[in-house]
Amino acid sequence: MVAFLAACAVHYAGYRRFLGRGLREEDLAVRRAALIGWARFAIAWQVTVLIIGAGWILPFALGHRHGFAWTAPAIGLVLGTAAPLQLVVIRISRLNRS
């Protein structure tokens, strides 16, 4: 649960930092720059999540742990990264309709 909330918080911070004001602008160049900045952030965060997740899972998997509860933090991190992406994509698609 903590990993999920932390990942959501990172995505929210990135959204506010890169897209918060940029998507409200009428100038298309400003919107484009905001989207490029957010895309760079999102890709960097995805790579970070993969590294953290692999760093968590590999030692446990190599240790042949029984059960699957030890995977919960990595799964929470991945889901906490995926869920906010859906909201951002909806926001961007709504903006493009108007």
pLDDT digits (tens, 9 = 90+) for 29-71: 988 899 999 999 999 999 999 999 888 888 877 887 777 788 8
Q: How confident is the model at residue 98 (pLDDT cuts 50, 70, 90)?
A: low
d(CA 79, CA 24): 28
Residue 24: exposed, middle, or buried by beta-carbon count in 10 A (0-12, 13-18, 19+)?
Answer: exposed
Alpha carbons within 13 A on the beta-carbon side of 70: 14
Q: Which residue has the higher pLDDT, 38 or 23?
A: 38
Torsion angles phi and psi, residue 15, rounded to 5: -60, -50
Q: Which residue has the tokens 């919960």?
A: 72
pLDDT at 64: 74
